[in-house]
Structure 1
Amino acid sequence: MLATIETERLVLRNYKREDAQSMYMHYCGDAEVTRYMSWYPHPDVHYTQRFLEEGILPKNECPDRLELAMTLKGACQHVIDNVVAWKVASDTLELAYVMGRKHQGQGYMREAVQAVLTYLFTHPSFQEVIAYDELDNAASGAVMRKCGLTYQKNILDRRKIDSPEDDVVVCALYSMQKNDWMQDHECEADLLKGSS
C-alpha cells in the first residue's frame, strides 16, 4: 500500500531507494536490535541496499502489505524504524516493527503503532490485526498492550527464518478486533461510518 501517515512527532512513509544507509545505521546492521527479529543483522550497507531494492520497494504498491519507514518530523530522510503489516488471512493482518537503539524508550513506537492501527482499521476490508513477540522482548509486548492489543496465548516460533524446526522460541500472540478498536476510538469510527 502506498501511504504517508503523520503523527505529532513522526512521519511514516513508504521506503525510498536512498534509505539504505540510514536503515543500516539505525537498525539493520545492529545485532542487538535484530536479536528478536526473524532475520540476521546485515553485514554491510550493500546488503541493506539489495534487501531494500529486492524485498521492500517492489511491494510498496501491494494492496495486502503496508511497510513504512519511520522518520522524525523535520528529518524525513533519516529512517529510524520500520513498521510493517501484511495480510495473513482474508481479513487479518499481522503487524511487526523494529526500532533503532538510539530512539528506543521515547514513546515513538507506541505513537507509530497507534497511527498504523488507525490507518489499517479505517480500511473496510481489515477486521483484525495480530502481532507476536518473544517473551524475552518485554518492551515489544509493552507497546502492544499500550496500543490496545490483547494477549491471546503463547505460541512456538522459529528463532530465525532459516532456523531448524527444533530451534524455537516461546512467543506471546496478541490481537485486536476492528470492533474493539472502533469502541475505543469513537471519533475515527464515526469518520469511518460516514465514509462507507
Structure 2
Amino acid sequence: MKNIGTQNIETQRLVLRKFTLNDADDMYRNWANDDEVTKFLTWPTHSDVEVSKKVLNIWVNEYENNANYQWCIELKENNEAIGSIGVVNLKESIETVEIGYCIGRKYWNKGITSEALTALIRFFFEEAEVKRVEARHDSNNPNSGKVMMKCGMKYEGKRIKADINNTGICDVSLYGLTIDDYNL
C-alpha cells in the first residue's frame, strides 16, 4: 500500500477534492444540519455553521498526513459541496481501507454516491495499491448497502448489535471487495 493522501479525482458529474474552510456554509446547509442525513452516522447533526467550521478546520489540518483520505464531493454543475466520502478506518498492516460517506438529502437516489464510491475504489486499487476496500452500514439503512453493491462490493454478513450511531446500538452489514475480485 502506498499512502499518497487525498488526491483530486474527477468523474462525469463530480470533483472529489480536499475540503477547504470555505466549504463550511455548503457543508452545514447541504448535509450536516439535517437529522435525516445524520440519522445512521456516528457524529451528531451540526447545530450551527460554527460546528461545521470546527470540523473542517480539523480535516484541513489532517491533510498534512499522507495516510489521511477525506474528500469533499463537489457537484460540477454548481461547484457546490454536497457531501463527504473518505477512509474511516485504515488498516495498513493488511493494506485495507474502510470507506464511509454521506451526502445531502436533496442528492439522494441520483447515483452520485455510487459515482463517488466507484471513483474511490478505482483510486485505492489502482493508485494507492490497497488489497481490500470495505464498507459497512446500519442494517436499518439498506440504501447505503445498495450503493456498495452497485459499486461491485460483496455482502459479507451482518454483525448483531456490533456498532453504535445516532440511533443507538445497531446491527451492522458488512461489504468488501478485494483486488483479486476487482481485477476480474
Q: Do both share a fold (TM > 0.5)?
A: yes
Do 2:18 and 2:70's aligned partners in 1 also have CA atoms closer than 8 Å?
yes
Distance 1:129 1:93 in 2: 5
Specify the alignment match of 1:80 in structure 2: 82
Distance 1:74 1:103 in 2: 13
Distance 1:46 1:73 in 2: 26
1:75 is displaced (CA, Å) by: 2.5
1:153 is displaced (CA, Å) by: 1.5
Specify the alignment match of 2:126 in structure 1: 122
Letter in 2 for 1:28: A
Deviation readout 1:71-95 (Å, 9 max, x if unpaired): 111422x210111114134201010
Letter in 1 for 2:70: E
Specify the alignment match of 2:108 in structure 1: 104
Q: Percent identity?
A: 29
Specify the alignment match of 1:65 in structure 2: 68
Residue 38 (structure 1) aligned with residue 39 (structure 2): no
Which deviates more, 56-65 or 88-97? 56-65
Larger Rg over CA atoms: 1
Query: For structure 2, which runs of at least 5 residues remain unmatched after alignment?
Result: none
Specify the alignment match of 2:117 in structure 1: 113
Residue 160 (structure 1) aligned with residue 165 (structure 2): yes
Pairing partner for 2:154 from 150, 157, 171: 150
Do 1:2 and 1:61's aligned partners in 2 also have CA atoms closer than 8 Å?
no
Q: Number of aligned residue pairs: give it.
A: 177
1:125 is displaced (CA, Å) by: 3.8
Do 1:24 and 1:48's aligned partners in 2 also have CA atoms closer than 8 Å?
yes
Higher relative contact order (Cα pairs below 8 Å, separated by 6+ residues): 2
Specify the alignment match of 2:21 in structure 1: 17
Distance 2:43 2:164 in 1: 9
Q: TM-score, normalised by structure 1?
A: 0.85
Pairing partner for 2:56 from 26, 44, 52: 52
Distance 1:100 1:74 in 2: 15
Distance 1:23 1:88 in 2: 28
Q: TM-score, normalised by structure 2?
A: 0.90
Query: For structure 1, which runs of at least 5 residues remain unmatched after alignment?
Result: 184-196
Structure 1 pair 125–119 and aligned structure 2 pair: CA distance change class (3 A): closer
Which deviates more, 149-158 or 40-49? 149-158
Deviation readout 1:95-132 (Å, 9 max, x if unpaired): 00001001111111111110111011113541101110
Distance 1:157 1:52 in 2: 29
Letter in 1 for 2:74: T
1:40 is displaced (CA, Å) by: 0.8
Do 2:72 and 2:84's aligned partners in 1 also have CA atoms closer than 8 Å?
yes
Deviation readout 1:106-164 (Å, 9 max, x if unpaired): 11111111011101111354110111001111110000001011111112333238x9x
Pairing partner for 1:134 from 138, 142, 152: 138
Specify the alignment match of 1:7 in structure 2: 11
Distance 2:128 2:75 in 1: 29
